[in-house]
Amino acid sequence: MTRIDSTPLSSTPRARLGRYPDRARVDRSDLHAVLDAGIVCHLGVVVDGAPLVLPTGYGRIGDVLYLHGSSAATSLRAADAEPVCVTVTLVDGIVYARSVFSHSVNYRCAVVHGRARRVDDDTEKLAGLRALAEHMAPGSWDHAREPTRRELAATLLLAVDTTEASVKVRTGPPGDEDDDIAGATCWAGVLPVTTAWGEPQPCPQLAAGVQVPGYVADRP
Amino acid sequence: MTRIDSTPLSSTPRARLGRYPDRARVDRSDLHAVLDAGIVCHLGVVVDGAPLVLPTGYGRIGDVLYLHGSSAATSLRAADAEPVCVTVTLVDGIVYARSVFSHSVNYRCAVVHGRARRVDDDTEKLAGLRALAEHMAPGSWDHAREPTRRELAATLLLAVDTTEASVKVRTGPPGDEDDDIAGATCWAGVLPVTTAWGEPQPCPQLAAGVQVPGYVADRP
């Protein structure tokens, strides 16, 4: 997943940034970097004419995102063969400016527009679920029990092509107007937001003698 | 915002949880707790029949959420007087199970269904923007320059009533089946995800002698 792909992102009207176009990233590798750094995405679907936005896990194989859930989940069933929007956001800092109007947030955000495709082929389904497990809990697929046929049937896997996507990134200090900078007495700057892994909490029913494995303890 | 409100949440069909109903929280104070703990929300709107999901800042006054952006922003203009979905998600941990199927995520999630109302009244607009600033950057409103009339006009503020909402929370260890627990040799447990504030980064153009204020340095 670290291969650099400098194919430019598509430039359809809805994938083009209207606001702050200077914050756009246009390389596919930028899209992959944001998608790979996120933990959950927010899946948007239209149900009875109204939007529904739910968080869900995901994984990526090349240019395809895989999302899953119960075969009975309303949101996923509503998404099948329909237009969806998959958004991954990482908040990096709060930008304190000298004027309220210039307050901002440092962030990385990927927005994918596509039509969800329900995956029924067993080989692709297993590969997609593996990518998903490896994104959410790297290293676990090789150690946990694989899904049974019944579990696979109870799982709905959706594939979303990432061809039509936009990436927006804000970094750096506040962008106050010169008039506000001159003579300002209030503090201005960035308060970083950091996300880290805590101390692993073993399951109370963990078999005696099972140590925390490196893929959990040393998760990057 | 710490007042306990035990009014039950509404129970419309779309605000009722279809999956894992045992994860539902039904008190309004639970909704407020999730909304107050989040940093950004994901706003879902329908544009040309397709969903659009974008991250945005927000603030809360009682049972009303305020979201803002540029008066020219497509997403906000599309939301005005239309059905929207506002989702706030906090990821608390990755749940490593003994079976891939039982892998999960510990999280808190609030989903608000409503119709966005554009705020044009100056008094409500200033109060909503203040709530938003105080949510994103507590303490800053009293120290930064307030919006000018021109800046107010360039800002679109939307109000979303939180009456119709659902809250879903997962906590605790993996929920493996008994058959998987017996004799399992792989590690199972929770890897917590922690979010914290980093070291404040002063703006390079900060006036000499301005110290990091307590509302930034000691932000809870």
What are the tens digits of pLDDT across the range B108-133? 999 999 999 999 999 999 999 999 99
Tokens of A158: 């959706």
Q: Which amino acid is it at B47? A: V
pTM of the predicted protein model: 0.94
Q: What is the pLDDT along chain A (220 residues), one digit of tens a residue?
A: 344 555 778 778 888 777 777 888 889 999 999 999 999 999 999 999 999 999 999 999 999 999 998 777 878 888 888 999 999 999 999 999 999 999 999 999 999 999 999 999 999 999 999 999 999 999 999 999 999 999 999 999 999 999 999 999 999 999 999 999 998 889 999 999 999 999 999 999 999 999 999 999 999 9
A3 belongs to a structural domain? no
Q: Which residue of A has its CA nearest to B16?
A: A74
Q: Can you give the pLDDT at residue A21?
A: 78
Q: Identify all chain B residues contacting A195, using CB atoms and an 8 Å cutoff.
A: 193-195
Is-contact A70 B18, C-beta < 8 A? Answer: no
Q: In angstroms, rounded to a whole number, what is the distance separating the alpha carbons of residues A197 and B91?
A: 11
Cβ separation A51–B50 shorter than 8 A: no
Q: Virtual CA dihedral for A115, A121, A127, A128, nearest 10 degrees?
A: 30
Q: Virtual CA dihedral for A67, A69, A75, A81, nearest 10 degrees?
A: 50
B97 by DSSP, 3-state: which?
Answer: coil
B4 belongs to a structural domain? no
Q: Identify all chain B residues contacting A137, using CB atoms and an 8 Å cutoff.
A: 94, 96, 103, 191
Which residues of chain B from 16 to 35 reach within 8 Å of chain A, CB to CB?
Answer: 18-19
* Residue A114: Cβ within 10 Å count: 20
User: Is B4 in CB contact (< 8 Å) with chain A?
Assistant: no
Residues contacting residue B196 through CB under 8 Å, at least 6 positions apart: A193, A194, A196
A53 belongs to a structural domain? yes
Provide the pLDDT confidence category of residue B101 given band limits of 50, 70 and 90. Answer: very high
Q: Can you give the pLDDT at residue B84?
A: 96
Q: In angstroms, rounded to a whole number, what is the distance separating the alpha carbons of residues B89 and A170?
A: 21
Which residues of chain A from 35 to 54 reach within 8 Å of chain B, CB to CB?
Answer: 39-40, 42-54
Cβ separation A18–B210 shorter than 8 A: no
Q: Can you give the pLDDT at residue A6?
A: 59
* Percent of chain B's residues with pLDDT above 90: 80
Mean pLDDT value across chain B: 92
Q: Identify all chain B residues contacting A196, using CB atoms and an 8 Å cutoff.
A: 193-194, 196
Q: Identify all chain B residues contacting A201, using CB atoms and an 8 Å cutoff.
A: 93, 173, 189-192
Q: Which of A132, A113, A127 has its CA nearest to residue A67?
A: A132
Q: What is the mean pLDDT of residues B23-33?
A: 91
B26 belongs to a structural domain? yes
Q: Can you give the pLDDT at residue A80?
A: 87
A89 belongs to a structural domain? yes
User: Is B150 in CB contact (< 8 Å) with chain A?
Assistant: no
Q: What is the mean pLDDT of residues B93-108?
A: 96
Stronger pLDDT, A88 or B17, i.e. the higher one: A88
Is-contact B198 A192, C-beta < 8 A? Answer: yes
Q: Is the pLDDT of residue B3 over 70?
A: no
**Which residues sit opposite B54 in a β-bridge?**
B43
Among candidates A103, A146, A190 on the partner chain, residue whose Cβ is nearest the Cβ of B100 = A146
Is-contact A78 A91, C-beta < 8 A? Answer: no
Q: Can you give the pLDDT at residue A7?
A: 72
CATH number at residue A195: 2.30.110.10
A6 belongs to a structural domain? no
User: Where does residue A36 rank: exposed (0-12), middle (13-18), buried (19+ CB within 10 A)?
Assistant: middle
Q: Which amino acid is it at A219? A: R
Q: Which residue of B has its CA nearest to A192?
A: B198
Q: In angstroms, rounded to a whole number, what is the distance separating the alpha carbons of residues A217 and B79?
A: 44
B34 belongs to a structural domain? yes
Which residues of chain A from 117 to 136 reach within 8 Å of chain B, CB to CB?
Answer: 129, 133, 136
- Domain count for chain A: 1
Q: Can you give the pLDDT at residue B1?
A: 38
Tokens of B1: 């915002």
| Residue-number span of the structural domain to which A36 is assigned | 13-217
Q: Can you give the pLDDT at residue B2?
A: 41
Closest CA–CA distance from residue B82 to any residue of chain A (Å) = 8
Q: Identify all chain B residues contacting A46, using CB atoms and an 8 Å cutoff.
A: 46, 49-51
Tokens of A17: 């940034």
Q: Which amino acid is it at A21? A: P
Q: In angstroms, rounded to a whole number, what is the distance separating the alpha carbons of residues A3 and B123?
A: 53
B117 belongs to a structural domain? yes
Q: Which residue of A has its CA nearest to B131?
A: A100
